[in-house]
Amino acid sequence: MDSSNLNQRYQHPAPNIMAEITTLAANATDAIDLSIGDPDFTTPQPIIDYAYQQATAGQTHYTEASGLPELRQTIKDYYHDRYQLDFAIDQIRATVGASHALYITLGAILTPGAGDEVIIAQPCFSPYADEVIATGGVPVILGTKPENGFAVQAAEVAALITPKTKAILLNSPNNPTGNVMSDEIAQQIADLAIEHDMFVLTDEVYGDFLMPGQHFTPFATFAPENTITFGSMSKSFAMTGWRIGYLIAPEYVSSATRLVNEGITYSAPILSQEAAIYAMKHADEFAPKFAAEFRERLEFIDAAVKEIDWLDVAPVEGGIYAFVDIRQTGLNSVDFSAALLKKTGIIVIPGLAFGQSGEGFIRIAATQPLDVIKEAFVRIKQLNVNDFKE
């Protein structure tokens, strides 16, 4: 037997730039890794201690498929207290991270073979389109533009809507661009969703990370009956390895995602759920500290890039990344990233990894201590644009 026995899509897979960078980062020595979005912080000790206490008390079994009742209530309370949004418990389910939440949602709303379309705003987290395809849908790419700060424009969304449009997939604050969707644009897109009876799938895992003068409003504020929200503990509480997230959807959608998930994971890990309960109940003790650290790092990166006359940077409004414009070098993002690694030992992610709309840019993750980031820019500032034209 050979690869011809595989799903045709995986017999000759397209290059996966993000996976290649991950492998490179894992095997590089003496390099400065500014590529992967895994914060350098360790999960706060009180969260770890609480999960340990629960484990020793016997919490080592399956939970109800939708998650521990206490976790779902905690998520409900979190949104009520912080955003004045009221959800029913049956709208909320715990998941194995936000990507799992997206996958089972797509499995619930898309019908394979029907040509159901999902509009995806790019640049974006690269698995989005893969998950749409894997669940039988058709990705329709909306390329945002650097001249607009990579903001989604409602008129451009409207131009892509067809009778087969089932949903639009958004991410704000955005990975990789740092764009934060304004309330005005969100309301315009919400109006389109209501008019065309389509879902808005909204990845809000970076909602706690905002630069000065910015604010974040959950999309469900604008179109609650059309919105499916994906959240995660990974970034706000430095819990990437716990693999715990959630979705909030209309009850009939949430119920369907349970059916999709029955043969996948059944339930999220119980100790991760327990840790999430403690984290969300004490969010004000943890998330603001991490947010302040990322803000300081991003402010430094923004200023440092602007001191280099052959680089520029998209407006850094939120998230934990800077999207740096490298077009003056004349190189594409893959070749630039390779050259940067060779000349400086710095690992970044080519903008092409986030879709064609990201070409001409690289993503720098603020996931290293500030002194490491400063050292990276000491190295970068020793170069000039001609070093990339050899």
Here the CATH number for the domain that contains residue 294 is: 3.90.1150.10
What lies within 8 Å, CB to CB, of 114 at 6+ separation is: 136, 164
The domain tally of the chain equals: 2
Q: What average pLDDT does the segment 145-151 reach? A: 97
CA distance 208 to 225: 24
What lies within 8 Å, CB to CB, of 348 at 6+ separation is: 34, 35, 324, 337, 340, 362, 363, 364, 365
Asked if residue 17 has pLDDT above 90, the reply is no
Burial tier of 387 (Cβ tally within 10 Å: 0-12, 13-18, 19+): middle
Residue 245, domain member (yes or no): yes
Residue 389, domain member (yes or no): no
pLDDT in tens, 100-137: 999 999 999 999 999 999 999 999 999 999 999 999 99
Instruction: Give the pTM.
Output: 0.95
- pLDDT above 90 coverage of the chain, percent: 89
Residue 50, domain member (yes or no): no
Asked whether residue 279 falls in the same domain as residue 300, the answer is no
Strands 92-95 and 245-248: antiparallel
Asked whether residue 373 falls in the same domain as residue 249, the answer is no
Asked whether residue 273 falls in the same domain as residue 362, the answer is no
Domain boundary (249, 283, 317) is at 283
CA distance 90 to 67: 11
Asked whether residue 293 falls in the same domain as residue 263, the answer is no
Report how far apart, in Å, the C-alpha atoms of 167 and of each of 30, 53, 94, 118, 199 are: 44, 42, 22, 5, 4
Domain boundary (283, 301, 328) is at 283
Domain boundary (283, 305, 332) is at 283
Asked whether residue 338 falls in the same domain as residue 216, the answer is no
342 or 67, higher pLDDT: 67
Q: Residue 174 belongs to a domain with what CATH number?
A: 3.40.640.10
Asked if residue 364 has pLDDT above 70, the reply is yes
pLDDT at 19: 67
Chain centroid to CA 318: 12
pLDDT at 282: 98
Residue 258, domain member (yes or no): yes
pLDDT in tens, 198-223: 999 999 999 999 999 999 999 999 99
Q: What average pLDDT does the segment 36-49 reach? A: 96
pLDDT at 7: 85
3-state class percentages of the chain: helix first, strand second, coil last, to nearest 5: 45, 15, 40
pLDDT in tens, 293-330: 999 999 999 999 999 999 999 999 999 999 999 999 99
Residue 49, domain member (yes or no): no
Residue 112, domain member (yes or no): yes
Asked if residue 157 has pLDDT above 80, the reply is yes
Question: Which H helix or E strand runs over 4?
Answer: none
Chain centroid to CA 346: 23
Asked if residue 27 has pLDDT above 70, the reply is no
Asked whether residue 368 falls in the same domain as residue 310, the answer is yes
| Closest listed residue to residue 371, CA positions, set 45, 38, 40, 43 | 40
Report how far apart, in Å, the C-alpha atoms of 373 and of each of 57, 267, 301 are: 42, 38, 8
Asked whether residue 252 falls in the same domain as residue 200, the answer is yes
CA distance 145 to 123: 9
pLDDT in tens, 366-382: 999 999 999 999 999 99
Q: Which tokens hold the place of 288? A: 């603001």
The residue segments making up the domain with residue 372 are 3-43+285-382
- pLDDT above 70 coverage of the chain, percent: 96
CA distance 331 to 82: 44
